[in-house]
Amino acid sequence: MGEDSQSIYQVCTQPDYVFVKVNGRASYVNCDPFRRFLHDVLADGQCKFVFDFADCSGLDSTFLGILAGVALAIRGKEEDSCMTLLQLGERNLETVKNLGIHRIANVRAKENPPDIENLEGIGDGFNGETASVREVYEAHKRLTELNESNARKFHDVVAFLEQRLDEEEVGDRDPDKTQ
């Protein structure tokens, strides 16, 4: 990456929480390294997350489904487990509220982030692969489980992705498939 380019996802793992700064547009195109990072820190037992969206220009539903998955995964794990979303900006805040994510995460739109140094970019060596069909499906499925409105909004997307997954599965089992 060039010297003036900045990772979309910058992280710092503290002993008692994980801090993530999101720069630019967070979407299915670039969220796979982010998803893998969150999977790893959840597996390590982290249950407090702070996300700073001050420099985030947009959030897509795949990214938000990943966030919802983390919020649901930590829910009830420990008494002080939580996800906090800071400085969302008007448009991103509206999206978060429309999808019901504000009900499973602490939203503090105007609160400043903690003073964090040593942020590390994740996905700097990103190979350009977008999230897989399965990952996009799982993210949208999580959103549909949050509320009935999301179930209606994403019904067609989920149905399409289920069809794609079924086709991939059949293709993987096809004995005539060339290697």
CA distance 127 to 60: 20
CA distance 166 to 117: 45
What confidence tens digit (pLDDT) does each residue in 71-105 have?
999 987 877 899 999 999 999 999 999 999 999 99
The CATH number given to 9-128 is: 3.30.750.24
Nearest CA to 32 out of 100, 157, 132 is that of: 132
Going by pLDDT thresholds of 50, 70 and 90, the confidence category of residue 163 is very high
Looking at residue 110, what is its pLDDT?
82
CA distance 64 to 66: 5
What confidence tens digit (pLDDT) does each residue in 34-53 have?
999 999 999 999 999 999 99
Q: HSE-up of 30 (CA within 13 Å, CB side)? A: 18
Cβ pair 14, 46 in contact under 8 A: no
Looking at residue 6, what is its pLDDT?
66
Domain boundaries, the chain: 9-128
Cβ pair 68, 104 in contact under 8 A: yes
Token pair of 117, please?
A: 């140094």
Nearest CA to 61 out of 127, 159, 153, 167 is that of: 153
> Mean of the pLDDT values across residues 155-159?
96
Nearest CA to 18 out of 65, 51, 62 is that of: 51
As beta bridge partners, residue 122 has 9
Residue linked to tokens 């999301």: 150
